Copies of this chain bind each other. A is one copy, B any other.
């Protein structure tokens, strides 16, 4: 697979990062470890909540979306991590047995002014339900190495 350096990115590029589907058992196991709120721990707890049924922790949705980003894009780039996110939005519930699609759009590309071997891309990631509804969106910067020749 071709390595993608910072120099290969441009605003407007889109990447299909594939899909994920969570089981009720996976949702409950993640919640027991990290986010033990009633609507993440059981179907009964979900029914008694505003969500009407078991839903995944928003952090679980983030984690599986990160896995899609790692496998679908970062594995092909000299990535150096991320300083963080702006506007992480949990817009709709993520429920067991539903398949969600993950897409990324590059919105900005900035070579570093202080470090000639790297730069940052700004990305908008969206997670969509089968009906097209966006259930999660975030904007994040990712630090990526430049093509070696570009620093000669």
A132 CB, nearest partner CB in chain B, Å: 20
Q: Binary interface profile of A, 38-55, with partner B (CB < 8 Å = 1, else 0)?
A: 010000000001110000
Of the stretches A11-19, A28-36, A101-109, A123-131, the one at the interface is: A28-36
Contact (A34, B86) CB under 8 Å given A50-B80, A50-B81, A81-B51: no
Contact, CB under 8 Å: B57 / A66:
yes
- Chain B residues within an 8 Å CB radius of A57: 66
Copies in the complex: 2
Decide if A22 is an interface residue (CB 8 Å cutoff).
no
A110 CB, nearest partner CB in chain B, Å: 17
| CA of A89 to CA of B35, assembled, Å | 20
Tell me which residues from 74 to 109 in chain A have a Cβ below 8 Å from any Cβ of chain B: 74-75, 79-91
Contact (A90, B86) CB under 8 Å given A35-B70, A62-B59: no
A74 CB, nearest partner CB in chain B, Å: 6
Interface residues of A (CB under 8 A from B): 33-37, 39, 49-51, 57-59, 62-64, 66-67, 70-71, 74-75, 79-91
- Chain B residues within an 8 Å CB radius of A87: 84-86
- Chain B residues within an 8 Å CB radius of A63: 33-35, 59, 63
Contact, CB under 8 Å: B90 / A34:
no
Q: Which residue of B lies closest to A38 (CB)?
A: B79
